[in-house]
Structure 1
Amino acid sequence: MKILSKRIISALLAAMTTVGTVACADSQPDNNSETTVGDTQTGGTDAVETDATETGRAAVSDNLPSDLNLNGRSIRILARSGDKDTRLEFLADEESGDIVEDAVYKRNLTVCERLNVTLDVIEVNEERHSGAGINDLLTASVMAGSDDYDLVANHLGQLSPLILQGIFQNMYDLPYIDWDQPWWNQSYNDAVTIGGKRYACAGELSLSMIMGIYATFFNKQLWDNYYNDQDLYEIVKSGDWTLDKLTEFSTGVYEDINGDGACDEGDTFGMSYILDSIQADAFAAGAGVSFTEYSDGKYTWALENEHTADFLGKMEKLLFDKSTLLTTNLDAFQTTLLDKMKNDSALFIVHMLSGTELLREMVGDYGIVPMPKFDASQSDYKTTVHNGSSVFAIPATAVGADEIAAVLEALCSESYRMVTPAYFDVALKVKYARDDSASEMLDICIDSISFDFAYLFNSAIGSNAAIFRSLLKSENIGSAMSTIASKKSEVDSKLAEIVTAYGELE
């Protein structure tokens, strides 16, 4: 059974909204090519196994009819493939021995056999940080009234403006999608919805979103050296993992390893942090800071409050004690963040889960816990994801949206059962299916993903959802609240424009 075909479009051609294909080897992703892969024998779902059985994920089934047959329909998916984070969401030509690739392959096979469909992936050579080429292709297609694509997967931040241009169909009431299932990200899906209109969605099909979750990594050797009488996993489970705890644990670690009498990169620190980076967004999300609030049919700027001021105070205490934390700029990302963890010279770092790939050569062990709460009274752990994570939408010109919805539901549900547990096996360096405390931490990280409406439409509101990156860049953050207040008029006006645009959409 043929399950997957793929077409590769260069980002340059995508930017010119010209689609061309020439035959070339599959190993040349920068060229334009059309390739058919994966003539496989039908083995039924019995051939697809996953270690998720012990975790309970495999026991959570979707509600798609068992006799649903889409009669060999080809589902055309416009997607990025410029790096591993994006390519792995759809593309696995065959079983290779790589845990995650094999899970993606088996998921695709299962979905195609269940629904009698093929997946036609139209690749655009763009990576996690980009999506303009896909936007250009898609906009040109829809504006021309062409039915070229059934499903699009693109950069969260760059897809959002297309919503306001009427490029997508409302998915809110489509059949077959059960929005209450655990493979859908409720926070994103609620945030992107206004008045029963949902033009994009997020779920566990987005491996780039799972990989893009921001979490706290800790060096287990340093933890045992300094805090072997405490169990950080138990602190998390008790609800007591907070900004104050992070500061407390970070404060007692500093050692002048190189003996030069200065706090510098040659020493051991409680934490390493990159200034003016998305890590600031993760801390704000973790502390439950809300950029906007929705009331009486409108969104307003909501940062002017005591909670925000208290959050800034806690962050100032954490970030600017030079004997606690090593700070640097983004240019020194590798040496000050990841290498400090690998070399057992930083107890904590904040990073995406994909950082596990870069820690693969680490001799010692690391652990992963969620972002710290503001305080113990905060009800849940929260975090954000990289804004280049993929979200999904159905183009306005696509025909048969109900069938597309069925395939999307199946892809998300099978990803929940197969792909995410496989990725966690890699992230943990142990089997996720053991269901131990380390696995529980990753479940908490997924459950803690939180989206603010401002984050979705950051570019439309003057990038003010990233305001903490600059506010937490220097020790002089005492004027931060006045800076926040100065943004209110501008942001409220932009938010009103977005809500008005939603109201005019079909």
Structure 2
Amino acid sequence: MKTFCRILSCLLVVLTLFACVACGSSTTKKENPTTAPTTGTETGNTETGTATNTNTDTATPSGELVKPVIPETFGGDKIRFYINGGAGNASMSNIRSIALVADADGEVPDPDYAVNQLVVTRNQTVEDELKVKIEVAKVGTMQGAVSDLGNILTAQDDVYDVLALYQYFDLGLALGDTVGSFYNLENMPEGVTSYLNVKAPYWSQALYNTLKYNNTAFFVTGDLCQATIGTLFVSFVNSKLWNQYADQIKNMQNSGGYSDIYDIVNNGYWTLDLIEELGATVYADTNDNGKNDYKDRCSFIIYGDKSNCATMDCLVAGFGLRYTTTSADGMPVMAFDSETNTDIYTRLQRFMTHPNTTAVATYEEIVDEAGKSLYIMDVFAQGNVLVTVNTLDKAEYYLQDMTDFWVMPLPMLSRDQYNPNSASKGYATQLGDSVSQYAICKFSGEERLPAITATLELMGYYSKLWITPKYYEALKIRYTRDDKNAAMIDMVREGIYSDFGLVWSRSLNDVSWELRTNYNPAKGIAKYAKLTQNKLNLAMADLLVKIEEAYDIQ
């Protein structure tokens, strides 16, 4: 029974992370409506009058969240969502049925059960308040949006109102043959009310501004997408191994004289230098084969193979690597071979090849004796690895039976990053590229914009008010062991950064995947960086031509 419920629990998180970011409930009401939760602080407005989108901050100085003013209802208008993000997508009615089965079996309800309930409640509250129907018109596969939507958008067919698009694969739908399909969120049609306030605290200003170009923006995301929390890049630390070596750690050159990991993190000693130094102490050839392999006890495990996804991306995110900079006239410029980045590649090369590291750090795929590819988190879960890096939600899929681990920030490149006066203390991170970006289709008709934007805005508001706190609580219950460890997730979130090259990676020769797929230091780091930069410059020039066409820049 426990195994069965763990399977259900795992499925729930997959569904929750990728589906309920924008999934609606079915258009029928619940038989037993749930009273709206009181989580968070709500400051409501019920006055009537002319509604406009002022794009002003809707958080009060005291931090209270202000409910958007929407003084009209929409007579049952159906708001049609296209949801893309992977095979785990499903309607909210399906998520509810799975959650209730787990509860009916007598097990303690999974923390995500409460999150799923709130998603249902949010959607039905929005439906009731605005007199709309939220409909998931189609659920796509992870890479299916271009084929699903290309012909529809080219033909300007009125099929969907809101597209929840996979950031990595789908932003190109704003360009090329499908250019002109989405509303410019910075300049909605004159004389038409838009309730979408992109400056509200439930929309991500960092990602919005990164994607905005010359006062034009087609995409917005934020609390409506739970992947903005679940795909945080973090470190996973084997607490049992750490405590086993605590005395040695205290005496290490790069530990600052601390052995407690919280002291090390809070005082800026959680660095690549320390992890490298840990290697010689922790390493043991546990299978006595004379080789450094996945069965050995080691300080760190990573490899750059494309099939292993985000591990290399995670590591360099902690170093603050930026793929692009901004020129004096505000144009994005590739920076792959910048001096700062070249220093990062050089340090990364030394870490992955230095004999004192003795970590399973390789540019080759890790396989078992039968030649089967091994996933990093499966290897970490065996208990012989001290540290690895990945997205936060991987703990749910791979570490359910592992209790002795902590969630920590990504290691800094060096202590030079440390900033004791910042909330992140200098630790940096990024979001995984599976974040949903929301676009509004033009072909629904301007007369329906008030209903569509009001629905999105109110869903974003209730997501921040109810769902984000509960989801955050569920993450901390599942992934952390005490209040101090829970505070580490808060610190991680404070260090999120983004850049133009990251969000447009698919159109820039997959630049965010470059180090995991093509990094070959045998060519020489400076030469590798320069050759890659030259290719990326061509890709950037091509992308900017397409963007200028899409954004109607004369």
Match of 1:77 in 2: 81
Give yes or no for the alignment of 1:403 onto 2:451. yes
Aligned mates of 1:245, 1:274 — CA distance in 2: 19
Q: Contact (CA 8 Å) 2:96, 2:117: kept in 1 or not? A: no
TM-score, normalised via structure 1 length: 0.80
Deviation at 1:147, TM superposition (A): 2.3
Deviation at 1:505, TM superposition (A): 6.7
Deviation at 1:241, TM superposition (A): 3.2
3-state DSSP class of the match of 1:252?
A: helix
Q: Contact (CA 8 Å) 2:91, 2:136: kept in 1 or not? A: no
Quickly say closer, same or farther: Cα 1:249–1:412, change in 2 above 3 A.
Answer: farther
Q: Contact (CA 8 Å) 1:72, 1:117: kept in 2 or not? A: yes
Quickly say closer, same or farther: Cα 1:473–1:480, change in 2 above 3 A.
Answer: closer
**Equivalent in 373, 376, 382 of residue 337 of structure 1:** 376
**Equivalent in 199, 203, 222 of residue 241 of structure 2:** 222
**Equivalent in 315, 320, 323 of residue 283 of structure 1:** 315
Aligned mates of 2:238, 2:479 — CA distance in 1: 19
Residue pairs, 1:136-155, within 5 angstroms: 136-155=147-166
Can you give the 5+ residue segments of structure 1 that lack an aligned partner in the other structure? 1-33
Q: Contact (CA 8 Å) 1:316, 1:477: kept in 2 or not? A: no
Quickly say closer, same or farther: Cα 1:467–1:36, change in 2 above 3 A.
Answer: same
Give yes or no for the alignment of 1:157 onto 2:186. no
**Equivalent in 507, 513, 517 of residue 466 of structure 1:** 513
Aligned length: 463
Quickly say closer, same or farther: Cα 1:324–1:210, change in 2 above 3 A.
Answer: same
Match of 1:372 in 2: 411
Give yes or no for the alignment of 1:63 onto 2:67. yes
Q: Which moved more, 1:496-505 or 1:181-190?
A: 496-505
3-state DSSP class of the match of 1:487?
A: helix
CA RMSD of the aligned region, Å?
Answer: 3.5
Quickly say closer, same or farther: Cα 1:172–1:143, change in 2 above 3 A.
Answer: same
* Residue identity opposite 2:128 in structure 1: E
Q: Contact (CA 8 Å) 2:165, 2:171: kept in 1 or not? A: no
Deviation at 1:75, TM superposition (A): 1.2
Q: Contact (CA 8 Å) 1:92, 1:102: kept in 2 or not? A: no
Give yes or no for the alignment of 1:445 onto 2:436. no
Q: Contact (CA 8 Å) 1:69, 1:116: kept in 2 or not? A: yes
Q: Which moved more, 1:324-333 or 1:189-198?
A: 324-333
**Equivalent in 434, 438, 442 of residue 392 of structure 1:** 438
Match of 1:100 in 2: 115
Residue pairs, 1:22-33, within 5 angstroms: none
Deviation at 1:49, TM superposition (A): 4.8
Match of 2:274 in 1: 245
3-state DSSP class of the match of 1:349?
A: strand
Aligned mates of 2:79, 2:266 — CA distance in 1: 42
Match of 1:17 in 2: none
Deviating runs (4+, > 6 A) in structure 1? 88-91
Aligned mates of 2:285, 2:452 — CA distance in 1: 59
Quickly say closer, same or farther: Cα 1:431–1:309, change in 2 above 3 A.
Answer: closer
Quickly say closer, same or farther: Cα 1:182–1:87, change in 2 above 3 A.
Answer: farther
Aligned mates of 1:480, 1:52 — CA distance in 2: 52
Q: Which moved more, 1:92-101 or 1:311-320?
A: 92-101
Match of 1:318 in 2: 351
Superposed CA offset, 1:413-467 (max 9, x none): 32233333333444334598x9923222223333433322122222322223432
Identity of aligned residues (%): 22
**Equivalent in 9, 30, 49 of residue 39 of structure 1:** 30
Quickly say closer, same or farther: Cα 1:257–1:336, change in 2 above 3 A.
Answer: farther
Q: Contact (CA 8 Å) 1:265, 1:336: kept in 2 or not? A: no
**Equivalent in 295, 303, 309 of residue 342 of structure 2:** 309
* Residue identity opposite 2:400 in structure 1: E
Aligned mates of 2:524, 2:312 — CA distance in 1: 13
